[in-house]
Amino acid sequence: MKVTIVHNNSGVNKKYFKLYDDFIKYLQKEIPLKHDLTIYFLGEREGTMTTGQRNNKDEIKVLSKGRLNRDILRTLVHEWMHEYQRTILNRDKGPDIGGKNEDEANAKSGSIMKKYEKSNPENTELMYK
């Protein structure tokens, strides 16, 4: 599986790119996907997205400008989990508020963040910038 990262006026400082790369590698191990994926870090929301969205084009979009790295990466996990639910578990979308998929994505994103921070304490300070 290949992940392509695109920064579109993302506001993410280049000095944090390694953190993002490391985190994405961690995600690939924890929640493996089978197909290539493009992740867009955006400076402005697109369409109806709040802080993130996935689509049926193997893309995840994450609002990044003006947010802490930890919040950006948590949004990434949340949308990654939705990608997993749709492409690996073959689930239908479900409601945006509540419901099995949304609740699971919320719980899993919190869990992954804690596990990542615990296993990578050298990155803790960077997460809060």
Closest CA to 86 of 43, 62, 61, 57: 57
What is the pTM for the complete model shown? 0.95
Domains and CATH numbers, the chain: 3-127 (3.30.2010)
The string of pLDDT tens digits covering residues 24-41 is 999 999 999 999 999 999
Token pair belonging to 100: 């099995």
Token pair belonging to 38: 């493009």
Beta strands in 1-129 (DSSP E): 3-8, 37-42, 52-55, 59-63
3-state SS string for 25-50:
HHHHHHCCCCCCEEEEEECCCCCCCC
| 53 band by pLDDT with thresholds 50, 70 and 90 | very high
